[in-house]
Chains A and B, each alone.
Chain A
Amino acid sequence: MSFFAALGRPEVLDLARQTHYFWALLPEIVLTLGAMLVLIVDVIHKGDRSEPSRGSIPVLTLAVLAATALANTALFGLRDVSANGMVAVDGFRTFTNFVYLVAAALCIAISMGYLERRGIMKGEFHALVLFATLGMMLMGGSRDLIMTFIGLEVMSVPIYVLVGFDRMDPRSSEASLKYFLLGAFSSGFFLYGIALVFGAVGSTNLTYIAETLGTGTDHGHERLLMAGMALTLVGLGFKVAAIPFHMWTPDAYDGAPTPVTALMSTGVKAAAFAAFVRIFAVAFADAGAQWVPVVWWLAAVTMVGANLVALTQGSVKRMLAYSSIAHAGYLLVALLSGGDTGKAAFLFYILAYTVMTAGAFGIVIANSRDGEERVTLEDYAGLGLEKPWLGAAFSIFLLSLAGFPLTAGFLGKLYILRAAVEGGQAQLAVILVLASLVSYFYYLRVIVVMYMRPARSEGWHAGAGLPLAARTAVLAACVVVVAMFFAGAVPMRWAEQSALSLWRQPAPVAASPAPASLFR
């Protein structure tokens, strides 16, 4: 990273100085400028004509994401002195930023060809994906509840629009409206929760909150804090789609254009979980006695309920929606497991989950036609035999989602289970195993249908396929899913280091904690 040091990056950031935010927020700045660039380039291309955007827009978008990833490497090894800024400067943020970028890149890659077919090839799509990614990075990387909320909105607003991006499709618009209404509803709860926490603790800074709770003094306003935590939990539970805040998920996932569904189930979820970890597992760590039982039930109900409902789904896209709810349950288990192992398992799993889910949605896209979403189980019959590559890739993703050995999903689940057992959550581990046992049924059912049922008609699968770039992306995802099993130690070590950096206690507070507070 000497490259950035040569550019003048300080070794240790002091976020009390505004100028240091330039380095702390380098990837976000690059991404914001890139998103605007995409908008401008698109406008220059089109002028005032109404026509599909050029094919160079997605390429430019991918380049912006690559540049952001490069800027993200500037965060490697960076520290800040007091951990009281608006954004966290730690390995956890670097890791999760990469996850969002991977999710966004996969979303853009698999959208190639799909948007043209549906007649929604517009540069705004790509710009909004970039804005949403920016929101994820802000939300997951924030160290202040205000910042978390703004990140949440920067992420959500573009997603609301993206879900309804196909205005010609009433299902898309309906999904968008539902998601928007319920999202606004839950944002209200989240914001109220922040207000209550602020009222109880006196600051929105997460480090300050953690320290205040850690000292154990001045807890006369315990109930206020509890109510704040409860409402924050509701807001985050909505975004990660935990039962019972999940109701929007199947409808929104089903109605949204499939690349958007992929982004929602990967990047959005990852960002919400990262914020979840920062708020609950770090800031509220010392109030664990209060929130752990609640989240325990949330995780258990989510895992069991989502898997049971997924059993009855006839649409592969809806099945994947419920599967993503179920995976939220698994990730909650990692979060509950506590300690560095739990965080590391969480990071590993979120990476594996992102790659395999986005890949699976890529196959769903490959199986769709001009304006026609082929998502029912019968539509997949015979796919494995007629399109062996698609079938094999889908099988790998589904097996990985189920947690079958030789895939990343297996290793991820294994790490989560280990962390759960070590963290004293053995009961949850048992529930997790039973729930994923159920999940095998509906994942394998798709594979069975693909390989053992004849296609609906001769040449039914003739048009299935992806353009080259999307194919490369799906293939890469496939390779990563398998490689993460065989070389699982490498990402795991990275995840462990990132998790460790999250737990790094801020430098001992000699002077006043100096919270970024209105009442200084």
Chain B
Amino acid sequence: MLLLQEAAVHATSAAAGQAGESFAAFAPWLILALPLLGFVLNGLLSITAARRALPALPPVGDPHWDAHHEPSEQEHHAHGDDAHPAAHADDHGAHGHDAHGHGPKPATHTLPSFIAPGVLIAAFAVAVVNFLRMLAAHPETAWVHEYWSWMPVNDPTGALRVGAAIQLDQLSMLMTLVITGVGSLIHVFSVGYMKEDPGYPRYMAYLNLFVFFMLTLVLGASYPLMFVGWEGVGLCSYLLIGFWFKERANADAGKKAFIVNRIGDFGFLIAMFLLFANLGTLNFAEVMERAPAQMAFGGAVVTAVCLFFFLGAAGKSAQIPLYVWLPDAMAGPTPVSALIHAATMVTAGVYLVARSATLFTMAPVASLVVALVGTATAIFAASIGLKQWDIKKILAYSTVSQLGFMFAAVGMGAYVAGVFHLMTHAFFKACLFLGSGAVIHAMHEALHHTHSDMDAQDVRNMGGLRRYLPVTFWTMGIATLAIAGVPPFAGFFSKDEITGAAWDGAHGQLPLAAGLAKVGIDGTLWFGLIWGALSIAAFMTAFYMGRMMIYTFFGQNRTGEEERKHLHEGSWTLTLPLVVLALASTFGGFLNVEREVPIVRWFDFGQGEALHRWLHPVLAGADQVAEANGIAGAAVEPSAVPIAVAILLGLGGLALAWTMLSRRALRTAAEEPAYANGVERVLYHKYYVDELYDRVVVRTVGWLSRLQAGFDRYVVDGLVDFGGKMSEWLGVALGRFQTGQVNTYAFAILIGVTLVLYAFVHT
């Protein structure tokens, strides 16, 4: 109702030509507060549920109590205690979604189904209200409101003022819409996917908490506040990856994500310190205002700040060399992979770069590094994706690759293209992940009936599923077309903008190219390289996505006779989000259609480059920097070449996959021989990067740790123990005087008198 009223108000105001009125945010704190409320409620429910699932609390101080045998909801799950309504032995361990709950569910397992998606949808509604108001007003400056002073530090050399402030501008608005919108859909999907899990309320609590932190990340008006969200989403990611923590591999994956992210956080912190040391502020608005004046263009300081920020971004957004955690993160529940490890959290790095566009424009070298690393990641991860069998691993490497595309874009200064791709990627990758979730859900259920121990996530064990899961097939198909860059699906437009930018750069028409020239680097060659690599990566993307689709949905079904009977589509909570996301993947690309570019311009229905116009106020600072330094890009001559190449590559990749695989009789995982070819093996084993890291980093650190532990134990502890022993000896020695004899005591006093008298009389 509220939405409709708002829409009506804005429709009339727009009709009356009153556009341009000042923007007044509508309770933006609600957007943050609602998920937090959901977290609190679900958290309480999960505590209640966990308490009920537990046996009687152990007696306090009982020495026989074994801490390693701590009971938990999962313990119960595994042991199949009948006292628990949702308890049903799940022999398949980690992926404990089980549709065979018996009896009525307790309130702790029904309420989260309403609370968790409910708060998200409400937050989305508030976001939409704000969006409509912003659309009507289109403010040129960001709306910032400080709710309370968080870190006021008074210091003669410079005061630190960090408030708990919300910044609402076009960029954070867009991110908020994506997070709450896609988040709502994934929450709905989670209801269908997770509701049989004994840890369901805990799961929903974590998910709500994640959304809260993610919104804090994008809505915070300063780097420290962003960092709060940054750390918070890291925490939630860790908690959700290790959600089924009874399985050691899952817990390890969680830890891996957490630890790898620490490296990135180190970069983020250093960048903040540098920024504060040089500018004396950490609020976005002030930083962007002071930076051009107080830091030299292309100077060492701003370059270092940007590189450190990028280190942080690389950790969070899984770029080379810190990408290794993301494929392992697929150990978490699939909706988590969709929400956190595809649609939102991993794009935080892109958001960070886009938010700091002014800084990155001032640091051409750092920008080029960002673009090159992004490109390398894109092609590197795509090549690994070619040879994976696990459906979620394929999508994970695809995500890494697509994130590489985004970084290539923001690195080249095509911030809008990066954000655009971020948005479309959120749509189609969420759709793909949820679709894979639906597939796994169906597979799992089918395999469960026969107690088969086939891997439910291995695409070789699937096949022909389009007949059993039609909705999933069609929605995933659309998303595949989108990611492959087939017009007119969303991915086509966003990916084309990125390759187009690289093409322009190769012709020296990007501001960054001019900026690089200014610091003495010929960027055109680099941009040509980027364009070529991204094109190959796009081709690979199309190929592995086609391969995945063919293995999963085409050909003969390979699940087995008995299992086949149990393959069926899930409930509406599983399919509805897929449909909505497929629609978004279909039409999302029309938000930004470049009028000048051939072919693309066919899809201009009057909206034109809407996203460009929308984000213009946010990027105005970067544009001003470019203009002030005389590097504003030359007039771009649109060329048909990149766009044609992009379409050809996308279609070609899919076609190649089809021709290679559709004729062949596909085999199940058990029958398929291991990769014999050297290249294939290297790709399947992800270039052995994990092994390399294990040898070089983990073992070195482990060795150093042991060395340090030895030092600590024998030298430091030894010194401390020695100090303790010495004190004790001294104490005993002094205590010897305490004989209990008055004579001794009196004599001690006499000695004291002598000393004191001597000290006084002889001065």
Contacts and interface: CB of A to CB of B under 8 A. Distances in A.
Contacts of B763: 226, 289-290, 293
B751 to A, nearest CB: 6
B752 A230 contact: no
A476 to B, nearest CB: 28
B724 A441 contact: yes
A244 B731 contact: no
Contact of A311 (B60, B728, B755): B728
Given A244-B751, A309-B731, A312-B728, A182 B757 contact: no
A237 B752 contact: yes
A181 B746 contact: yes
A230 B760 contact: yes
B752 A245 contact: yes
A223 interface: yes
A85 interface: no
A244 B749 contact: yes
Contacts of A297: 759
Interface string B727-757: 1101110110110101011101101110111
Interface in B689-716: none
A469 interface: no
Given A182-B749, A238-B749, A385-B60, A305 B760 contact: no
Given A230-B759, A234-B752, A244-B751, A181 B742 contact: yes
Contacts of B103: none
B520 interface: no
B61 interface: yes
A356 interface: no
B628 interface: no
A223 B759 CA distance: 11
Interface string A226-266: 11011101100110000011011011000000000000000
Contacts of B756: 230, 233-234, 237, 294
B761 interface: yes
A182 B731 contact: no
A231 B731 contact: no
On chain A, which size bracket covers the interface? 35 or more
A290 B759 CA distance: 8
A298 to B, nearest CB: 8
A230 B737 CA distance: 24
A395 to B, nearest CB: 15
A191 interface: no
A185 B759 contact: no
Q: Is the contact region of chain B dominated by helix, strand, or loop, or is it mixed?
A: helix
Contact of B760 (A186, A294, A312): A294
Contacts of B757: 227, 230-231
A410 interface: no
A198 to B, nearest CB: 17
A182 B759 contact: no
B730 to A, nearest CB: 5
B760 A290 contact: yes
Contact of A310 (B60, B731, B744, B752): B731
A308 B759 contact: no
Given A250-B738, A251-B740, A294-B760, A186 B749 contact: yes
Interface in A272-307: 289-291, 293-294, 297, 305
Most B CB within 10 A of own CB, among A247, A312, A313: A247
A438 interface: yes
B716 to A, nearest CB: 16
Contacts of B751: 244
Contacts of A234: 749, 752-753, 756
A247 B738 CA distance: 7
B762 to A, nearest CB: 9
A248 B738 CA distance: 9
B519 to A, nearest CB: 51
A178 interface: yes
A189 interface: yes
B58 to A, nearest CB: 14
A182 B728 contact: no
Nearest to A311: B731
A498 to B, nearest CB: 29
A312 B731 contact: yes
Contacts of A438: 727
B734 A178 contact: no
Contacts of A441: 724, 727
Interface in A214-230: 223, 226-227, 229-230
A53 to B, nearest CB: 32
Interface string B64-107: 00000000000000000000000000000000000000000000
Contacts of A245: 748-749, 752
A456 to B, nearest CB: 15
A293 B749 CA distance: 19
Interface in A10-34: none
Contact of A308 (B731, B744, B745, B753): B731
Contacts of A294: 756, 759-760
B573 to A, nearest CB: 48
A350 B184 CA distance: 62
B730 A308 contact: yes
Given A230-B760, A290-B763, A182 B742 contact: yes
Interface in A312-350: 312-313
Interface string A95-116: 0000000000000000000000
B761 A227 contact: yes
A441 B725 CA distance: 12
Nearest to A304: B730
A185 to B, nearest CB: 6
B761 A185 contact: no
Contacts of B759: 230, 293-294, 297
A312 B60 CA distance: 31
Contacts of B732: 312
A223 B753 contact: no
A172 to B, nearest CB: 14
Interface string B206-232: 000000000000000000000000000
A155 to B, nearest CB: 19
A248 B743 CA distance: 11
A307 to B, nearest CB: 8
B744 A231 contact: no
Contacts of A230: 753, 756-757, 759-761
A226 B760 contact: yes
A517 to B, nearest CB: 25
A10 to B, nearest CB: 41
A312 B728 CA distance: 6
Interface in B436-482: none
A229 B756 CA distance: 9
A305 B734 CA distance: 7
A185 B749 contact: yes
B749 to A, nearest CB: 5
Nearest to A174: B740
A150 to B, nearest CB: 22
Nearest to B743: A181
A214 to B, nearest CB: 19
Nearest to A244: B752
Contacts of A313: 735
Nearest to A442: B731
Given A181-B742, A385-B60, A309 B735 contact: yes
Cβ-closest 7 pairs across A and B? A247-B745, A230-B760, A244-B752, A308-B731, A312-B731, A226-B760, A311-B731
30 contacts: A178-B742, A185-B746, A223-B761, A227-B757, A227-B760, A227-B761, A230-B761, A233-B756, A233-B760, A234-B749, A234-B753, A234-B756, A237-B752, A244-B748, A244-B749, A244-B752, A244-B755, A245-B752, A247-B737, A247-B744, A247-B749, A248-B745, A250-B738, A251-B740, A289-B763, A294-B760, A308-B734, A312-B731, A313-B735, A441-B727
Given A229-B760, A309-B734, A310-B731, 15 more contacts: A181-B742, A185-B749, A231-B757, A244-B751, A247-B738, A247-B749, A248-B745, A250-B738, A291-B760, A294-B759, A308-B734, A309-B731, A309-B738, A311-B727, A438-B727
